[in-house]
Structure 1
């Protein structure tokens, strides 16, 4: 009796009975009449029950490798090696790039991995003119130092610049003699040169063209026409071809400033130069409205005649004519040895 109002007999009453059994009261009566009584039946019932254990807690197997969060891989620290002699390189040839001794028989340096061949070292020291013509065997640039891509326009521009440089070099070669002569003329000592014959387009009475070359600044030449005297000229001729360096022109009737207003003063003069081979060239000489001599550079070689033509004048009027007090030519002095 478990205290709940039901006994062992009640449990046995719930068991199924065979089909051949009689009325329901018969098994109960047989159970009560069986030897041993109800305790034997309870023991028999307990023997029929299968014991069941309590479920054990489920355990999760532990992984062999513990999980970790993803992270940034850390690179290995570089190994720094101090430059010096490598092991086993005693008596070996030095590298032409880093001067590290290498074991005999090696073809590449143990430190910088550059070639130890002597012909490559000789190729590095080639002359500049050999490197300019070597378009197909140029050295491959180092990684990280590769040149930028060459476009078609860049190549064309390179050739144009090269052509201009070459043209300038050829022109400079042909101009070297002229440059040397110009340098000598610049530093040469000057000496006055007197023309052999003098003439003019026209002359005012008492003021012949020879008075402009008499080395006196109180005599002058005038064409005898008023206004600017445009188109009037005075010419000096030399018997022998002469090299001229400078020309000295004194405008007016004298070198005194208070006498400048007595005549018109030449402003622009056109110099027509005739050389020994019959060629002519013209130059323009600009003068200032001042008293006294005015020196102008006049580089000309093998000159036989110089004609100075008046183009315009200062202070031209109907009562004044243009006047030239003095014209002097200068050439290299014989003391220069030229």
Structure 2
């Protein structure tokens, strides 16, 4: 464009410049030039939209789980009693049902010396039960003077069978002390829970591992009121 003086009258453009946008329009002034949309910006916009959409889908699927987890956290607890009991083996007079009889001076033992590694006790529910907490009382009673009379479970693997038949596992670590020990045990609807002993405290060739009581707790019916 001319820098000074009157602009000369433009002549007729050649035929090859009259087709399409080639030179048919005056070039815009600096600052009036439209912003260029690069290919990278377009890809970035699509990627951002895809990430946001994915997050929304994940959030939609997890909202019900989050609501249920919140309800479980604040729910009042009530005891849940198994319907049947079994074990890998038991010491005479100390069957597995004695670990679920609500009495802390009776106990189950596998009748195997040392740690009893691999021995298990299982509780079964005729109707699927929702579990939130668990209490295990190790040893043969809650009395401190009885602690040394048996080995005490240390690490225990809980194998949970869900209402759909699928199994999952939880690792429980118990303290070396007398009395009941509560653990969070939010496992949803279950039909069976098996406790397998992995290790024990105070083992010896003259003692077997023992469990005085196993108690389950689920949401109280008062929560729906």
Q: Which bin holds the TM-score, normalised by the shorter protein?
A: 0.7 to 0.9
Distance apart, 1:164 and its partner CA: 4.5
- Structure 2 CA distance for partners of 1:156 and 1:200, relative to 1, 3 Å: same
Distance apart, 1:172 and its partner CA: 1.9
Q: What secondary structure sits across from 2:86 in the alignment? A: strand
* d(CA) in 2 for partners of 1:261, 1:302: 37
Equivalent residue runs for 1:247-266 within 5 Å: 247-266=134-153
Give the aligned partner of residue 333 of structure 1.
220
Equivalent residue runs for 1:41-80 within 5 Å: none
Q: What secondary structure sits across from 1:230 in the alignment? A: coil
Give the aligned partner of residue 71 of structure 2.
184
Distance apart, 1:162 and its partner CA: 6.0
- The answer as to 2:114 corresponding to 1:227 is yes
- Structure 2 CA distance for partners of 1:167 and 1:252, relative to 1, 3 Å: same
Residue of structure 1 aligned with 2:178, choices 281, 291, 305: 291
Give TM-score, length-normalised by structure 2. 0.77
| Higher gyration radius (CA) | 1
Q: Residue by residue, what CA displacement relative to the aligned partner does 1:21-42 show, whole Å, maximum 9, x if unpaired? A: xxxxxxxxxxxxxxxxxxxxxx
Q: Which has the higher contact order (CA 8 A, sep 6+)?
A: 2
- Structure 2 CA distance for partners of 1:166 and 1:210, relative to 1, 3 Å: same
- Structure 2 CA distance for partners of 1:161 and 1:226, relative to 1, 3 Å: farther
Q: CA RMSD in A?
A: 2.4
Give the aligned partner of residue 188 of structure 2.
301
- The answer as to 2:102 corresponding to 1:215 is yes
Give TM-score, length-normalised by structure 1. 0.52
Q: Which ranges of structure 2 fall in alignment gaps of 5 or more residues? A: 1-30, 32-37
* d(CA) in 2 for partners of 1:210, 1:320: 21
Structure ranking higher in strand proportion: 2
Q: Residue by residue, what CA displacement relative to the aligned partner does 1:67-107 show, whole Å, maximum 9, x if unpaired? A: xxxxxxxxxxxxxxxxxxxxxxxxxxxxxxxxxxxxxxxxx
Equivalent residue runs for 1:1-338 within 5 Å: 163-337=50-224
Q: Which ranges of structure 1 fall in alignment gaps of 5 or more residues? A: 1-142, 144-149
Distance apart, 1:156 and its partner CA: 7.3
